[in-house]
């Protein structure tokens, strides 16, 4: 846009509709909770299945020109690779087929299809031409496979093993998602000569800022950031803060930024076989939110982080710098909680379309508390709340660097551990007494170390705020019982 509001240049980006990685992890976590098999299929020459709505012509392809008709062109009757509308037409065709066969499209993710009948249910996740299928019984899965084979040129790939460079492994207690081979490729390409390892993804003593001088290996730096972003987005929430921080300097990295980048690569070498381990307990989604006030002294902005877990491992996470300047730790935490709440609401609505999943309930907090620090925050907050210590908040590493002990502890709280470990994953519990008994609702004030927020905070050193927002929904466990958390823990520190 120009200064006068007129359009300077039109821009467009063509994208294809695919299932969210979060949706895929949720479905796989449900498969683990209910002890269901995950099947995989692939559509051959996927974009040739779409039906064209427009009249399109093309030149005769070289080697197939009809003798005596060299000046003629071909009229397309089906979609073709390279057409800008090819992905759209494929999805329209697939949606039509699925709806015709009794499936419903998930309202929150248009690439997740569900079918629930008297004899069972089936869930299908579509990512362009790859699809994952889970069903409550073999009959539902088999009928879905036969239906797809009758309408498309399909390839059945057996039980899911590898999709989107994510390895799916069946463990003794459930499923594990890992990307060890992808980590090996990253290290071989960008850090092959370095055999040193690091036990933390980022050094807490490194204070990074924009480079005012000449950039150092900018292209290679941006390639590493891109590779790490995909790894982090798929299976490695422990890298979220480091990748978020380092990606801010992609345009002009300095030697200091490279030191931190090498630290991440060394940490990858140390944790190459880490994966998300989903088990059959707990059948409840919990969300952790955290904020680090004024984490960037250059622009006085804070860092937000949230993470949601299901079946003992992470299904959704994010680390990002806040776009507005918070005036207190409390305000920075409310800003972080707002983003966490958006994701909680999305997860809640996504699960409403999952068969046999009890309708989720979203915990809210109500507080009409306004003082000198909070009067400019125009929001009411309500929830069941309790105390959670900073060391037990697994969203903490999404906002800042931690020491090796806390990195190890929070990683396990996220469900991250080596594929060679077979013992049950220890579940982190809030210090305030969060457990998985009957649901209990109660209203309290925000607390910090037992003192209400209306009082002056005794500690000026610990200016971090922790909020454990528990978004919970009860689900049928493999045994047929239901579980849900008792309380929603919340800790805050403000003056």
Quick one: pLDDT at residue 296? 66
Q: How confident is the model at residue 459 (pLDDT cuts 50, 70, 90)?
A: very low
What are the distances in angstroms from CA 168 to CA 29, 68, 420?
11, 55, 14
What are the distances in angstroms from CA 351 to CA 37, 72, 308?
19, 54, 14
pLDDT in tens, 205-245: 778 888 888 889 999 999 999 999 999 999 999 999 999 99
pLDDT in tens, 386-401: 556 777 888 888 888 8
CA–CA–CA angle 178, 181, 184 (5° rounding): 120
Quick one: pLDDT at residue 379? 41
From edge to edge, which strands make up the β-sheet containing 120-127?
104-105, 112-117, 120-127, 130-135, 38-43, 154-159
Considering only residues 166 and 77, tell me which one the structure prediction assigns the higher pLDDT.
166
Least confident of 61-70, 90-99, 169-178, 381-390: 381-390
Rounded average pLDDT over 366-383: 41
Quick one: pLDDT at residue 5? 66
- Cite the residue boundaries of each domain of the chain with CATH code 3.30.70: 21-57+72-164
Phi first, then psi: what are they for 280, rounded to 5°?
-100, 15
In CATH, what number does 21-57+72-164 get? 3.30.70
Least confident of 180-189, 258-267, 366-375: 366-375
Quick one: pLDDT at residue 364? 43
Q: How confident is the model at residue 260 (pLDDT cuts 50, 70, 90)?
A: very high
Q: How confident is the model at residue 377 (pLDDT cuts 50, 70, 90)?
A: very low
pLDDT in tens, 8-38: 777 666 666 788 999 999 999 999 999 999 9
Quick one: pLDDT at residue 403? 85
């Amino acid at each position: 846009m120009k200064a006068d509001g007129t359009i300077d240049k039109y821009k467009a980006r063509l994208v294809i509709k695919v299932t969210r990685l979060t949706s895929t992890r949720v479905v796989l976590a449900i498969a683990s909770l209910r002890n269901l098999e995950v099947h995989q299929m692939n559509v051959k020459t996927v974009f040739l299945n779409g039906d064209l709505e427009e009249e399109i012509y093309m030149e005769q392809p070289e080697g197939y020109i009809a003798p005596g008709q060299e000046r003629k062109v071909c009229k397309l009757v089906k979609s073709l690779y390279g057409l800008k509308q090819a992905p759209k037409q494929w999805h329209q065709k697939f949606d039509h087929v699925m709806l015709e066969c009794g499936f419903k499209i998930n309202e929150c993710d248009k690439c997740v299809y569900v079918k629930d009948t008297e004899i069972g249910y089936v869930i299908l996740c579509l990512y362009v031409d790859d699809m994952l299928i889970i069903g409550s019984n073999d009959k539902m899965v088999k009928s879905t496979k036969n239906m797809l084979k009758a309408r498309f040129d399909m390839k059945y790939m057996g039980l899911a093993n590898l999709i989107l460079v994510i390895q799916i492994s069946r463990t003794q207690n459930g499923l594990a998602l890992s990307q060890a081979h992808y980590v090996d490729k990253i290290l071989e390409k960008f850090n092959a000569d370095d055999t040193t390892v690091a036990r933390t993804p980022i050094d807490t003593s490194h204070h990074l800022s924009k480079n005012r001088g000449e950039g150092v290996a900018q292209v290679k730096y941006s390639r590493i950031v891109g590779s790490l972003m995909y790894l982090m987005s798929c299976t490695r929430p422990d890298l979220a803060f480091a990748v978020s921080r380092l990606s801010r300097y992609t345009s002009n990295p300095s030697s200091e930024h490279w030191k931190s980048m090498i630290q991440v690569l060394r940490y990858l070498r140390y944790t190459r076989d880490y994966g998300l381990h989903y088990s059959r307990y707990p059948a409840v989604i919990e969300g952790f939110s955290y904020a680090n006030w004024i984490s960037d002294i250059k622009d006085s902005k804070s860092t937000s982080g949230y993470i949601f877990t299901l079946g003992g491992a992470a299904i959704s996470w994010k680390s990002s710098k806040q776009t507005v300047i918070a005036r207190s730790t409390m305000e920075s935490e409310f800003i972080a909680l707002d983003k966490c709440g958006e994701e909680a609401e999305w997860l809640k609505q996504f699960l409403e379309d999952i068969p046999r999943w009890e309708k989720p309930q979203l915990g809210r907090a109500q507080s009409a508390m306004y003082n000198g620090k909070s009067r400019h925050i125009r929001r009411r907050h309500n929830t069941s709340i309790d105390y959670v210590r900073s060391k037990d908040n697994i969203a903490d590493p999404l906002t800042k660097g931690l020491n090796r002990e806390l990195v190890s502890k929070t990683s396990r709280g996220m469900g991250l551990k080596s594929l060679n470990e077979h013992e049950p994953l220890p579940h982190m519990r809030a210090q305030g007494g969060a457990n998985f008994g009957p649901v209990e609702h109660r209203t309290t004030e925000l607390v910090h170390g037992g003192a209400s927020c209306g009082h002056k905070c005794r500690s000026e050193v610990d200016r971090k705020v922790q909020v454990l927002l528990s978004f919970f929904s009860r689900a049928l466990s493999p045994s047929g019982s239901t579980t849900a958390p008792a309380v929603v823990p919340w800790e805050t520190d403000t003056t």
